[in-house]
Chain A
């Protein structure tokens, strides 16, 4: 969708700004809001760019730098911290070779720390995009990440095969 279509979908009033920003970020393959969208949005909604960026940057779910296809958000709040969030970070850092705020070279994963995700009953916990994972330990993390990587490999394989058939 173009920026205009997104704005039309939610309405161009200021109170729809967050929803529109969600919409813009969600449709971006790299999970972020780029400069051009903010400029276009500013013209569409008649809000200065400074205010759009100022508002969006207030919220931790919005990013202004390209992120991976899968954004891993590990809870850093006290309940998860008590039950070993630190080791969760270490496991992911080890497995993917990225630190907090970084993205893997293949553009698949971004690792982020986040405040409480409201799933403390199964602490330590994390979200990968919109999926919630709880009761984490090293083994479980490896399993989850392996699965995604496998899935992606298969997807690439399928793409290749399909491309071949078109030759």
Chain B
């Protein structure tokens, strides 16, 4: 890497100040909401460059201060300083579980064994979620920079990005980004003239939702069936190829360069005390402006729908599913609950991946849940018995309900099954099946009961008779 470019990046002197959003390939699926009034609210951290720079030109990323954080980290900070900054920032994993990122890094940093690996989890499969894709397509270098900083902090020299096979454009852009970064010496040997080496490789998935679970992802990366592993050992101790491994979601890693550059204090100015920073939501459903927004943690569902999404596109608000198909269903009563990790936890929900699906009164709860269950049947890995058969029976139950052929005790059965799934399923997939079901039973029980009442045979079905099949032929 040339002296000139090192100095330029470190001193914040860009190659060329160029904001060529006109050069950005505006495919119809690039849906970053560009309404400045709303999306620039407090400024954006993660999506800052998306739609503003040409993601295929590394100079443009550098022009906005890119790789400055990496240079600063390598030149001025020790690995433990980096971990401390990330810890202090209060950043929590944006993949769904919300585990403190700094703490996670410290686990991997403690391990003595080598090599260590940094893995970027880009297997975004949660229905309704497309934030990671947009980040990868719109600002691939930010992820690479985040990964490099992470690698420096935990003592790794190899990084992998595991991308789902459907994200062809992301794959192409990241491949290009890696090549360009290598060309400038921002990846590879002796980065910024230090003795830090770091290379990044891409692994492509092949269509499996459960591979977003970190241990399933590791199995998939190693060329096995993407079934979750037993924990412990945790990946920080024994991950990819049984070596210490740190896995972070795309959005989490994209938060890293700004945090290192601006400090933990700066980051804490956004969001709430418990959940600092911003969150990228993908909002969709019956709203006027579906797309991505980046807003501070803690804003309410009402604000999202009526301020950012331009209100309902048709009908009245009925319910919203937060966090993708594995998330809970919120009724109108919860429109004003702040969306952050803690507040939602209190209500028994989870922020999950940040997908917010808004539904109007035309959507029958039973129909929606049947579709959710169909998804889980399709995506359950089949390893543990309760998830393998439980999801299928759950799907069948909702089908009976929708077809008005349900038994009088169908809801009780569903509830018991959901509780059991939550308590005993092997991995988060099985456990999260309960979220939409139990929340729907909590808030929409009356509507679901009606499905049973409308079973025409209901009057004649008694407990004793329900199992007998009459053959009139």
Instruction: Please report A residues at the B interface, Cβ cutoff 8 Å.
Output: 13-19, 21-22, 54-56, 58-62, 76-79, 81-83, 114-123, 127, 130, 132, 134-135
B290 at the interface (CB under 8 A from A): yes
By the criterion of a CB under 8 Å from any partner CB, how many residues of chain B are at the interface? 55
Q: List 6 A-B contacts (CB under 8 A).
A: A15-B241, A77-B127, A79-B285, A118-B125, A119-B130, A121-B130
B374 near A76: Cβ-Cβ < 8 Å = yes
Closest residue to A79 on the B side, CB-wise? B128
A121 and B292 contact, Cβ closer than 8 Å, known pairs A14-B222, A22-B165: yes
Asked if residues A121 and B206 are in contact (CB atoms below 8 Å), the reply is no
Q: How far is the CB of A167 from chain B (nearest CB, A)?
A: 41
Contact B359 A59 (CB under 8 A): no
The verdict on B205 contacting chain A, using a C-beta distance below 8 Å, is yes
Q: Which residues of B contact A58 (CB under 8 A)?
A: 208, 225-227, 381
User: Is B29 positioned at the interface, with any CB of A under 8 Å from its CB?
Assistant: yes
How close is B258's CB to chain A, nearest CB, in angstroms?
24
Whether B221 is near chain A, meaning CB under 8 Å from some CB there, is yes
- B224 at the binding interface (Cβ < 8 Å): yes
Binding site for A on B (CB under 8 A): 27-29, 31, 124-130, 132-133, 164-168, 203-209, 220-227, 241, 282, 284-286, 290-292, 321, 325, 355, 357, 359, 363, 368, 371-372, 374-375, 378-379, 381
Does the CB pair B207–A119 fall under 8 Å? no
* Given A82-B359, A116-B125, 18 extra CB contacts under 8 A: A15-B223, A21-B206, A55-B225, A58-B208, A59-B208, A59-B226, A76-B378, A78-B127, A78-B368, A79-B127, A79-B284, A82-B368, A120-B130, A120-B282, A120-B355, A121-B282, A121-B292, A122-B29
Given contacts A55-B224, A82-B357, whether A118 and B207 have CB atoms under 8 Å apart is no
Partner of A115, one of B206, B209, B282: B209
Q: A119-B29, A121-B130 are in contact. Are A18 and B241 (CB under 8 A)?
A: no
Assess whether B128 is in contact with A78, with CB atoms less than 8 Å apart.
Answer: yes
For the complex, give the distance between the alpha carbons of A18 and B164 in Å: 11
Which chain A residue lies CB-closest to B382? A58
Complex Cα spacing A17 to B204, Å: 11
Determine how close the nearest CB of chain B comes to the CB of A156; give it in whole angstroms: 27
> If A14-B222, A77-B375 touch, does A22 touch B204 (CB 8 Å cutoff)?
yes
Cβ contacts under 8 Å, A77 to chain B: 127-128, 325, 371, 375
Contact between chains at B225 and A118 (CB < 8 Å) = no
A residues in contact with B205, CB < 8 Å: 18, 59
The smallest C-beta distance from B444 to any residue of chain A, in angstroms, reads 15
Given contacts A78-B128, A122-B28, contact A16 B355 (CB under 8 A): no
Q: CB distance A54 to B225 under 8 Å?
A: yes
- Within the assembled complex, what's the spacing in Å between the Cα atoms of A79 and B324? 9
**Chain A residue nearest in CB terms to B321:** A78
| In the complex, chain B residues whose CB is within 8 Å of the CB of A59 | 205-208, 226
Q: How far is the CB of B169 from chain A (nearest CB, A)?
A: 8
A118 touches B124 (CB 8 A): yes
B204 close to A19 (CB less than 8 A): yes
Q: Which of A15, A22, A82 contacts B285 (CB 8 A)?
A: A82
Known: A55-B224, A116-B126, A116-B128. A78 touches B371 (CB 8 A): yes
In the complex, residue of chain B having the shortest beta-carbon distance to the beta carbon of A125: B29
In the bound complex, do residue B222 and residue A15 qualify as a contact, i.e. CB atoms below 8 Å apart? yes
Given A61-B165, A79-B284, A18 and B223 contact (CB-CB distance below 8 Å): yes
Compute how far the CA of A83 lies from the CA of B225 in the bound complex, rounded to whole angstroms: 33
Chain B residues within an 8 Å CB radius of A18: 203-206, 220, 223
Which residues of B have CB within 8 Å of A121? 29, 31, 130, 282, 284, 290-292
Kindly state the separation between the CA atoms of A83 and B175 in the bound complex, as whole angstroms. Answer: 34
A55 CB contacts on chain B under 8 angstroms: 223-225
Selected from A17, A120, A134, the residue in CB contact (under 8 A) with B129 is A120
- Nearest-neighbour CB distance to chain A for B122, whole angstroms, equals 10
- Whole-angstrom distance between the Cβ of A90 and the nearest chain B Cβ: 16
A62 to B220 Cα, complex, angstroms: 14
Residue of A nearest to B374 (CB): A76
Contact A78 B375 (CB under 8 A): yes
Pairwise interchain contact B206-A61, C-beta atoms closer than 8 A:
yes
The interface residues of chain B lying within 8 Å CB-to-CB of A130 are: 168
Contact between chains at A81 and B371 (CB < 8 Å)? yes
